A and B are shown apart, each in its own frame.
Chain A
Amino acid sequence: MNRTELDALAAHHRLSPQAVETMLAIARARPDAAELRRFVGKLLRLAGALSLAAGLVFFVAANWSTLAVACRFALVEGAFAVAIGVALWRPPPHALGRHALLVAFVAAGALLALFGQTYQTGADVYELFLTWTLLGLPIVLAAQWSVAWAAWVLVLNVSLLLFCGFRPEAGLFWLVVSGFGLDLPVLLVAAMLVDVLLWGATLVVARSKWSHVAPRWLRRFVLAAAVAFGTWAGLVAIAESRDASDGLVVLIVLGALAAIAAHTLRERVDVFPLAAVAGSVIVLSSTAIARYASLDDLGTLFTLAGWLIVSSAVSGHLLMKAVRGWRNEEART
């Protein structure tokens, strides 16, 4: 039971403060001291590991000229080696090993950045993140931990954002694709498809014995990234609408959104994908109204405000219907 339901129960039965205390205890609505200590301990450990890792990244970014290049490498490589050493000493699924591998994953990125900074390799920033994604994969696989996978997904999406979203027109990978004359919407669709495939992979993992590696929040994170890229692609394609490829982009995006919605409606477990799809459709349809409605400024503003209110209200109504219906089905089973 969540707090809203408990509030409703307290209001309905006009409970006294003592009765509310009893209700909160029955509903186990508050963690006991041991549970709270365990949670805070976990939180401090994660925050501590990430702070150390961030300190390393800040250090590389500081480019401290007083320290010789060899010393800088020794420091970052030393941190990486210590993290790997700790993970070997207490391998995952031990918490220490997992946290150490998370630090090692971040240290690998810091090391790549230091390499690029020192030797002026000429690599574009997306190449740093892409290389980090590839080289970090074994570390994340070894960690067997959803948090490490979330960090990996984040780095992958930053590289997709830098390459597909900002079209750097530089670097080795760009040389490979530049011959195809791919414009922004097409590149963004490619980024969306990468994330949709990754989402599919998380769904498969969630049904396997490794389900703890792909919990619901991680699946939602990957899906949100996919829908964000898709929405951006569709928005640019609708707003610019220059040639047939833009129309194709919109069709692919709508197809992907429909596939996500269809899969979610078949599974009837988590409503989040439907909410993401609804949000995307609202943005795309609003863009289409702004682009194609032959209205003056006043008319456009009025229509957009009205459309946003109607479409979001209908979406909210249908989503809440699904939330309640699926929750009841889950309770019955």
Chain B
Amino acid sequence: MSGTDAITRASVTRELARLGVIADGDAPAPEAVDGRPWFVALLLGAAGWLAGLFAMFFVWMLLEPDTTAAMVVIGVALLTGAFGLYVIERANPFFAQLALAFSIAGQISLVVAAIGETDSAAATSGLAALMQLVLLYALPNRFAKALAAFFFCIAWALTLRFAWWGEPELAGGIVVVAPLPALVGWVVVWAPIVVAVEVAIASEARWMATRARTIVRPALAGLLVGLSFAPWVSEPLATLRFWFRDEAYANWLAVWPLLAAAAALFAVVAAFRLRERALVGVGIVGAGLHVLQFYYVLGVSLLAKSVMMVAVGAALLVAARLLEGRTSLASGRPS
């Protein structure tokens, strides 16, 4: 992005030494071990996830836990194993993958235990959100922390969604939500995450200077991925109901994907401010998927959706034009 690739660790270190920010004779910083490109992280994450599912079924079939307590013991044991593996060898990819698989298997076991104990989707989601916060703090691995932040977004959104409007049903049980509660609901769910991202970026230099960077950096990445994709899951099953053609009811939760597309665009801009190209791409893909979801979600007619899209498009183009005008004014060139 704008020639920053040409700036190397050595040149920055030299310049810092020249300015007297660091001592000239300081040993050079070691190369960052965990600087994986997004596609390597995706490959490892997907494989680790799948391995975690197989490991989970293996453990369940082997031990046949039939009580909540047994499931909790399995979940805690697997998560403890994951923690231990991460601590023992942080740079070894085999142990890291094994730890990820243990972690996924442990997390799902604990969620299953929560379902069995509470029999409530809202409570289960709430407990899952709490668990992700604990994992974000405790797991000594950047990738695991980023995943925890992402899953926190999903669990947080589901908690409020289920607590406010009840649990989803694929057939029947149509939810009817007026425009204002739908808007307020969305803001309550996603505004705290938007604010958290904004605060983290604004105070980046402060936390980079402390050990908090080991938590905030991966959390920020996870929250940006969350803003890009997690709203998909915050209206579970709705996208799958497109074969129900009865649009006689009005459910303004149907506009959530449009708002989610806006959140994804915010994530794009935030990622650009951090010069994280991969997250810029993630946000753009997320925004596109939300528009696709907006097409399928029922509750508002396609004609109304069409009008909304045209109005949003016109507003965005006007905003772009105004911004161009300001840019031209600032640079002293005609627009």
Contacts and interface: CB of A to CB of B under 8 A. Distances in A.
B146 to A, nearest CB: 12
A81 interface: no
B62 A7 contact: no
A219 B196 CA distance: 35
A301 B330 contact: no
Given A17-B206, A308-B97, 19 more contacts: A2-B275, A12-B30, A13-B22, A19-B209, A20-B205, A24-B205, A31-B273, A34-B331, A35-B2, A36-B272, A40-B323, A44-B319, A58-B309, A272-B39, A301-B54, A301-B57, A312-B51, A313-B94, A320-B93
A48 B314 contact: yes
B269 interface: yes
A64 interface: yes
B298 interface: no
Given A7-B213, A13-B26, A45-B320, A305 B54 contact: yes
Nearest to B310: A55
Interface in A17-31: 17-24, 26-31
Contacts of B306: 55-56, 58-59, 62
Interface in B290-335: 291, 295, 301-303, 305-310, 312-317, 319-320, 323-324, 326-327, 330-331
Nearest to B45: A312
Contacts of A47: 265, 287, 313, 316
Nearest to B29: A12
A298 interface: yes
A8 interface: yes
A279 interface: yes
Interface string A174-201: 0000000000000000000000000000
Given A4-B35, A48-B317, A298-B61, A36 B273 contact: yes
Interface of chain A, main secondary structure: helix
Contacts of A36: 269, 272-273
B204 interface: yes
Contacts, number: 277
Nearest to A317: B93
Contacts of B268: 43
Interface residues of B, number: 90
B12 to A, nearest CB: 5
Contacts of B213: 7, 10-11
Contacts of B281: 217
Given A44-B316, A55-B307, A26 B29 contact: no
Interface string B19-50: 10110001101111011110110111011101
Contacts of A22: 16, 19, 21
Contacts of B265: 43, 47
Contacts of A18: 205
7 contacts: A2-B275, A20-B205, A29-B274, A40-B323, A48-B312, A305-B51, A320-B93
> Which label, helix, strand, loop or mixed, suits the secondary structure of the B interface?
helix
B60 to A, nearest CB: 9
A2 B310 CA distance: 38
Interface of A: 1-13, 15-24, 26-31, 33-45, 47-59, 61-62, 64, 217, 271-272, 275-276, 278-279, 282, 286, 297-298, 301-302, 304-306, 308-317, 319-320, 323-324, 331
B115 to A, nearest CB: 22
Contacts of B165: none
Nearest to B17: A13
B77 interface: no
Contact of A320 (B4, B40, B315): B40
Contacts of A31: 1-2, 272-273, 275
Contact of B21 (A15, A30, A40, A279): A15
B9 A1 contact: yes
